[in-house]
Amino acid sequence: MTIRFAAIGLDHRHIYHMVGECLAAGAVCAGYCPETSDPRVLEGFRERFPDLPVRSREALFDDPDVQVILCAAIPVDRPAIAIRAMQAGKDVMLDKPGAIALAQVDALERVAAETGRILSVCFSERFVVRACEVAAKLVADGAIGRVIQTTGLGPHRLNRAIRPEWFFRPEAFGGILTDIASHQIDQFLFFTRATSAQIIAAQTANRTLPEVPAFQDYGDVLLDSGAARGFIRVDWFTADGLPTWGDGRLFLTGTAGSIELRKYIDVAGRPGTDHLFLTDHKGTRHIDASAEPLTYFTRFLADVRDRSATAMPPGHALMVTRLAIQAQQIADGNAPRRA
């Protein structure tokens, strides 16, 4: 059975790989709604997918042949779109973060349970990184024993001139930990096989943009699952000299070895992306993971067809989102933010 999907919420460029990978996995796009807060995102979408039909948002929600909604709207708007889609009988793939407030997470959890629909969040720093696919296989095979600690680094280039105005408003995007650190929280839970965790400490700072005092350009988090610990650092300090948007890295410490992922670049080293370094009882070696197939999108579509959960365990997406929001609240010193 061919899965038909639609794209609603063209506000972040992550919609490009969400749509592109679903098409590559064999799904058919029934159309997209052109509503956007950033005309440059829409322009880029049309350049990449010139043949996809334009349809109204409500027409896509109401089309009984559309089985999945993909959404990369302004983060604060994503939960309402997901809820509308699930209540219309459709499964959902959201860009991260899936929500920016705990009340939104509660609502998503409730509606997903009521409707029986699949609610997934595309954590692209794992699902669109081929080195993560290889690392997942190695960890599953016991190559480094049991993972007891992760260190996730998520530096990004600010590219201030091309960012939409909502990008600098925490009430719209949730803050640096809610947003970027959700990637690293996802990786911590996945690689340590934890289903939940506690935020031990979290902090944020604005080091370079005093004229935008509510914006945060640095954040870190310490979390603990009882059986493993994780440290996360995210920032907007990638220098212009780096030939990619960020030197994202992931370190996995196991009871019998370690893995380092240099996801997007091996600085002043090997060319290309998706470098994996394995240390075990046999020695050390570099693995070129750049040709490893991506599996999330194929599995997600299979889950839609088979009503299974191979792409992401039930509840994982919302647990990651909840922890990211809690970390943000601790860093902000706020009571739980409700929306």
Q: Measured between alpha carbons, how far is 143 from 286 in angstroms, rounded to an integer?
A: 14
Question: Mean of the pLDDT values across residues 18-24?
Answer: 98
**pLDDT at residue 114 tops 70:** yes
Which pLDDT band, with edges at 50, 70 and 90, does 197 fall under? very high
Residue 222 in domain: yes
Query: Does 197 lie in the same domain as 87?
Result: no
Q: What's the DSSP call for residue 311? A: S
Which among 92, 122, 152 is the end of a domain?
A: 122
Q: Quick count: other Cβ atoms within 10 Å of Cβ 143?
A: 20
Residues 134 and 266 in one domain: yes
Full-prediction pTM beyond 0.75? yes
329 inside domain: no
Do 66 and 140 share a structural domain? no
Q: DSSP per residue over 183-194, as a string? A: HHHHHHHHHHT-
The DSSP-derived string for 251-300 is EEEETTEEEEEE-S--TTSSSSS-EEEEEETTEEEEEE-TTPPP-HHHHH
Length of the chain: 339
Instruction: Assess if residue 300 is contained within a domain.
Output: no
Tokens of 177: 């930990």
- 15 shares its domain with 85: yes
37 assigned to some structural domain: yes
Please identify, among 262, 288, 314, the residue that sits at the C-terminal boundary of a domain: 288
List helix spans (H) across the chain. Answer: 14-24, 39-48, 57-62, 78-87, 102-115, 124-127, 130-140, 170-173, 176-179, 181-192, 296-306, 316-332
pLDDT digits (tens, 9 = 90+) for 84-93: 999 999 999 9
Selection from 51, 56, 47 nearest residue 13 by Cα: 47
- Residue 145 is which amino acid? G
Q: Which of 88, 103, 122 is the last residue in one of the domains?
A: 122
Whether residue 326 lies inside any domain: the answer is no
Q: What is the CATH number of the domain that holds 197?
A: 3.30.360.10
Do 79 and 157 lie in one domain? The reply is no
Same domain membership, residue 70 and residue 163: no
Structural domain that includes position 208: 126-288
pLDDT at residue 336, rounded to an integer: 44
Same-domain status, 118 and 186: no
Same domain? For 252 and 208 the reply is yes
Tell whether 175 and 97 lie within a shared domain. no
Residue 240 sits in the same domain as residue 107: no
CATH code of the domain containing 20: 3.40.50.720
Confidence label for 37 from pLDDT (cuts 50, 70 and 90):
very high
pLDDT range class, residue 278, cuts 50, 70, 90 = very high
- Number of domains into which the chain is organized: 2
Cβ pair 219, 234 in contact under 8 A: yes
Same domain, 250 and 112: no
Q: In this model, does residue 335 exceed pLDDT 60? A: no
* Closest to 172 measured CA to CA, from 75, 88, 41, 301: 75
Claim to verify: residue 189 and residue 214 sit in the same structural domain = yes
